[in-house]
Each structure stands twice: as C-alpha cells, then as structure tokens.
Amino acid sequence: MKPTILTLALTALAFPAIADEKQNLFHVRINKLEVGLPADRVIDIMGPAADRQFQGNREALQYCSRDGWAYNDFVVVWLSDGNVSGLTRYNKPYTGKCERHFRDLDWRQAPGATEEPK
C-alpha cells in the first residue's frame, strides 16, 4: 500500500504538534520544581537527568528538550545537600540531539555558591 500525498502531508503537519506537546510537558515539569525539593522528587517529576555531576555536597542535574525546530531548551537543577537550591535555564540554536550540547558547568554559578569547593 503506497502512502498518499494527503497521508504524507498530514504526517508532516503532526510532527510540529508532537514537538510542541513534548516541549510544553518539559516546561510544565520544570514549573513543578521549587527550592527545597528533595533530589528523588526532582527525578520523579523530570525523569533521570541526561547529565549528572557532583562536587562536594553539591549536585547538578541537566535536562533538555527540543523547542520546535529552531532551539534546544536546557535546565540545570542545582542541588545542595540533596535538595534543590535553584535552577538555571538557557537555550541554544538547534544543532542536533540536545543531550550532546550541554554547557560546561561553572559551579560558581550555583545558587548560594561563594567559591568553588576544593
């Protein structure tokens, strides 16, 4: 059975809607995060982090989602002593799978950070 032009057109129109729905869900999940939330609850809400880094009693969980066709949206969930201390959000132009394009973490940007632990 050959796909018709109408079927192909409808499929092409559905992809942006699916991407928008996924992006909206990403933002809905981020909006559920708040300072003081324990790390296990963050993972319940967001799922496993695509990137997870540790430094002393601090941890950073990085998540991303494709924003339509032009950008990838990213969020860093900063944890201190196992609880959310803040969030950093950023985006980058789309250049492929977002998990390959996380920023290098600067621990001095973590909420409440005064200096980098040794």
CATH of residue 34's domain is 3.30.1450.10
Residue 77 falls inside a structural domain: yes
Quote the number of domains for the chain: 1
Residue 117 falls inside a structural domain: no
Read off the pLDDT of residues 36-73 as tens digits, 9 standing for 90 and up: 999 999 999 999 999 999 999 999 999 998 776 678 88
96-112 mean pLDDT: 84
By CB atoms closer than 10 A (0-12, 13-18, 19+), residue 110 is buried
Residue 111 falls inside a structural domain: no
Distance, CA of 59 to CA of 84 (rounded, Å): 9
Residue 83 falls inside a structural domain: yes
Residue 115 falls inside a structural domain: no
Residue 75 falls inside a structural domain: yes
Q: Supply the pTM of this predicted model.
A: 0.74
Residue 112 falls inside a structural domain: no
